[in-house]
Structure 1
Amino acid sequence: MNKFLLLALTALCSVAACNREKSGDSSNKSLNFSAIESGTLVNKGDSVSLRLNLPTDVSFDSITYLLNDKPYITAKDSDAIWLKTDSLGMGSQLITANVFKEGQMESANTNIVVVPSQLPEQYSFSVVNTYPHDAHAYTQGLEYRDGFLYESTGQRGQSTLRKVELKTGKVVKKIDLPSKYFGEGMTIVGDKIVQLTWEEGVGLVYDKNSFEKVSEFPYQASKEGWGLCFDGQRLIKSDGTNRLYFLNKDNYKEEGFIEVYNNKGAVDKLNELEYIDGKIYANVYYSDVIVVIDPHSGAVEAEINLIGLLPQKDVTEDTNVLNGIAYDQEGKHLYVTGKNWDKLFEIKLLGR
């Protein structure tokens, strides 16, 4: 190699190394958490050790720790602090450390994901009764009242709202939705039926007896309509994520939400919903599982495995997924079906 070129390259490398060293000094002193790693799953009830990675030659006046942007604790040293999770909800919790020195502040963030400490209970089933179901009904929502099923069906241009005799499967009242709507979940609130649409961003409200449409309402933070149920005080709406939104029963405004988690993490694709004895039952789309959810914490308390419910001999090329939960509150009967299933089943849960 030409000696002049070698000298030039050596000088260039020396300058680059110097620059890296200077920039390295800054980056090595950047503030971050050494514990806990962002995204770590933490069982509800556990305490979590939090420690900042502070350069040894940096002094400071105080450290203020925030939990979800609210003050949690202020420290005067860099010792680890303990975060209690007993009172936290399910899901991601943002942790911020603000380090103060002579009126200046530097911040670092991390997060934990709180999940239930207990594994969900596992339920199987037995079939109590089998009833006919319209194999052309793409079931999206299902409710039971006084011997009848109220059903919302989907598919663009084929969506309906219908009243069906339980024992015969006969449709005694039906309206077709405008072709622009893809029908989704529905529930009954007093003398009204509330039905969701999928991507159209609007819910439809009908008179329960006449099926005459009386109003509609727009979605807010929840962009899609999937499942819907009523707990006696609020509507509960799913949108295909792991969030369940609470809606005012009178004006349909969203007034909060919970996030649904099991011990492994978020449970999304929550579909058709039913409120049963203080718990939310939810179909999980593309599965044969119904999850039982605590409406206060969002924890999945149980899973109902319905694999094999529809006999293989009754499965056709049009048969779609399990979807549809209805409950007879007075008689304590639980009914389930699926999209384009030719049967509706009354089942008894085993293992409870």
Structure 2
Amino acid sequence: MNKFLLFCLAALSSVAACNNGGGKKSRSVHFRSIESGTLINRGDSVSLAINIPEEIDIDSIVYELNDKHYKTVHDSAAVWLQTAELTMGSKLITANVYKEGESERINTNIVVVASAVPEQYSFSVVNTYPHDAHAYTQGLEFHDGYLYESTGQRGQSTLRKVELKTGKVVQQYDLPNKYFGEGMTIVDDKIVQLTWQEGVGFVYNKNTFDKESEFPYQSSKEGWGICYDGKRLIKSDGSNRLYFLNKENYREEGYVEVYNHKGPVDNLNELEYIDGKVYANIYYSDVIVVIDPETGQVEAELNLIGLLPQKDVTTDTNVLNGIAYDHQGKHLYVTGKNWDKLFEIKMLER
């Protein structure tokens, strides 16, 4: 037998020994449930079970949820994960298995989705008001009897104060040409306005429109919509995330992912906070979704198809965008980019 053949036989024997652990069974541990990426309805319980080879004596298993301690056990019996208090989206599940003076860390994940189909609403038009057909509406607020509006497009972006009944612009600030204006909201005596891809937001004096400061974005790279819940700012960036900003320094302090019963809801655009919920335009859609900001669950959908009469649609008419709410009078206003009308509507349950 030549040396080359002897070498090959020795190599094959070595590989075989490695594959069977030198004659021993595999000592690896792994999740036998649940499969990574499984969709779980919020409120359901999830069985977490780990495969432990018989010859291994475990000391303990420490489970973590999103890198935070969840539960410690001392055997391989299944652990039940409760999801009723979880927010929407992907959740990392980690098991730290301590055995024979060693430890092994294994991961899986689940995706929490809404447990119910969103309630469906249509609408009726209560009042119709004029709206500047050249206003590329990005943000809309109602405050002290006036509409405040942010418009977009570079070289045309503005911040405006508008008479509701006439559509007349009574006060205006023109953004420098390099900025593309986006959503805006009012916080006490300040107006907070976003820009699209410039990575910066502006803070104005509400009465004078004088710019007082600006702030950079953090994890949310773009600015789309923004609203205020009385304690914090809530910001969208075109994804399915809502980011929470400190109202004093505008730093991001967390986020929720927005899901319905089917999966993530992307393209969250202009936002309005109404009675504990976030109303959000879905870009390129005639639908407004109603979101629980604490969990990210879409609770309702408002279908506004046909709101703008076809006779009023021109080549410049763009998508539905702009939600404002009169918290005292309980009036809901909506419009769109380059629409010549603004509508007060009533939601009708289907």
Equivalent-residue separation in structure 2 for 1:315 and 1:18 (angstroms): 77
Post-superposition shift, 1:23?
4.6
CA contact 1:127–1:347 (8 Å) conserved in 2? yes
SS in 1 for 2:58: coil
1:269 paired residue number: 267
Is the aligned partner of 1:200 residue 2:198?
A: yes
CA contact 2:57–2:100 (8 Å) conserved in 1? no
- How many residues align? The count is 347
Query: Percent identity among equivalent residues?
Result: 73
Q: Which amino acid aligns with 1:256?
A: G
Q: Deviations over 1:176-208 (max 9, x none)?
A: 100111100001112221111111111111111
CA contact 1:31–1:107 (8 Å) conserved in 2? no
Equivalent-residue separation in structure 1 for 2:11 and 2:334 (angstroms): 69
Alignment of 1:20-35 (within 5 A): 21-25=16-20, 29-35=27-33
Equivalent-residue separation in structure 2 for 1:15 and 1:159 (angstroms): 75
Instruction: Call closer, same or farther: CA 1:77–1:21 in 2, change over 3 Å.
Output: farther
2:36 paired residue number: 38
1:212 paired residue number: 210
Post-superposition shift, 1:239?
1.3
For structure 2, list consecutive stretches of 5 or more residues without a partner in the other structure.
Answer: none
Equivalent-residue separation in structure 2 for 1:136 and 1:16 (angstroms): 77
Alignment equivalent of 2:79, drawn from 66, 75, 81: 81
Post-superposition shift, 1:87?
2.2
Equivalent-residue separation in structure 1 for 2:343 and 2:72 (angstroms): 58
Instruction: Call closer, same or farther: CA 1:321–1:19 in 2, change over 3 Å.
Output: farther
2:283 paired residue number: 285
Q: Which amino acid aligns with 2:131?
A: H
1:125 paired residue number: 123
Q: Which amino acid aligns with 1:33?
A: F
Q: Deviations over 1:53-101 (max 9, x none)?
A: 3334433322222222222222232222211112222222211111112
Q: Deviations over 1:1-57 (max 9, x none)?
A: xxx9xxx89995x67765654454469544321110111111122111111133344
CA contact 1:191–1:208 (8 Å) conserved in 2? yes
Q: Which amino acid aligns with 1:86?
A: A
Q: Which amino acid aligns with 1:76?
A: H
1:309 paired residue number: 307
Q: Deviations over 1:285-326 (max 9, x none)?
A: 111111111122221111111111122222222222111000
Query: What's the Cα RMSD here?
Result: 2.3
Equivalent-residue separation in structure 2 for 1:140 and 1:19 (angstroms): 67
CA contact 1:279–1:295 (8 Å) conserved in 2? yes
Mean Cα displacement is larger for which, 290-299 or 68-77?
A: 68-77
Q: Which amino acid aligns with 1:190?
A: D
Equivalent-residue separation in structure 1 for 2:72 and 2:187 (angstroms): 48
Alignment equivalent of 1:260, drawn from 239, 258, 261: 258
Alignment equivalent of 2:149, drawn from 134, 148, 151: 151
TM superposition score normalised by structure 1: 0.91
CA contact 1:40–1:111 (8 Å) conserved in 2? yes
SS in 1 for 2:311: helix
CA contact 2:56–2:99 (8 Å) conserved in 1? no
1:241 paired residue number: 239
Instruction: Call closer, same or farther: CA 1:224–1:25 in 2, change over 3 Å.
Output: farther
SS in 2 for 1:261: coil
For structure 1, list consecutive stretches of 5 or more residues without a partner in the other structure.
Answer: none
TM superposition score normalised by structure 2: 0.92
Mean Cα displacement is larger for which, 313-322 or 268-277?
A: 313-322
Equivalent-residue separation in structure 1 for 2:105 and 2:333 (angstroms): 53
Post-superposition shift, 1:121?
0.6
CA contact 1:326–1:335 (8 Å) conserved in 2? yes
Equivalent-residue separation in structure 1 for 2:303 and 2:182 (angstroms): 23
